[in-house]
Amino acid sequence: MKTYKIVYKPTIKPLFKLADPYDIYAFPMPEFTGYGTATGEREATVTAPNKQIAKSMLACSIMSEHLGAGYDSTPIIVQALQNIVSIEEVRE
């Protein structure tokens, strides 16, 4: 197994708002309102036998990051895979 460092540029991110920020007795629960634009690059390190499977492991990593958040993470995964900047094998 090889270790790969994947750099990608996310272009969308989930947006939230507080349900009722002025109610002092309510627990502040964020509500998903849609997707907004994101800037910058992100980096992920995955272990895989080749670069193609490393892309799949990146998708799994992004999915597990957004799992259970109450919105569909498919658009985030798709655009992250489309906007991969580099995949480099890390020598240890």
Task: Give the model confidence (pLDDT) of 61-85 as tens digits.
Answer: 999 998 888 888 899 999 999 999 9
The model carries a pTM of: 0.81
The rounded distance, in Å, linking the Cα atoms of 9 and 39 is 7
Tell me the backbone φ, ψ of residue 66, rounded to 5 degrees.
Answer: -100, 5
Burial class (CB in 10 A: 0-12, 13-18, 19+), 2: middle
Q: Per-residue confidence of the chain (92 residues) as pLDDT tens digits?
A: 999 999 999 999 999 887 776 777 777 678 889 999 999 999 999 999 999 999 999 999 999 998 888 888 899 999 999 999 999 999 86
**Conformational region of residue 69, where left means phi above 0, alpha means psi within -120 to 50, and beta covers everything else:** alpha
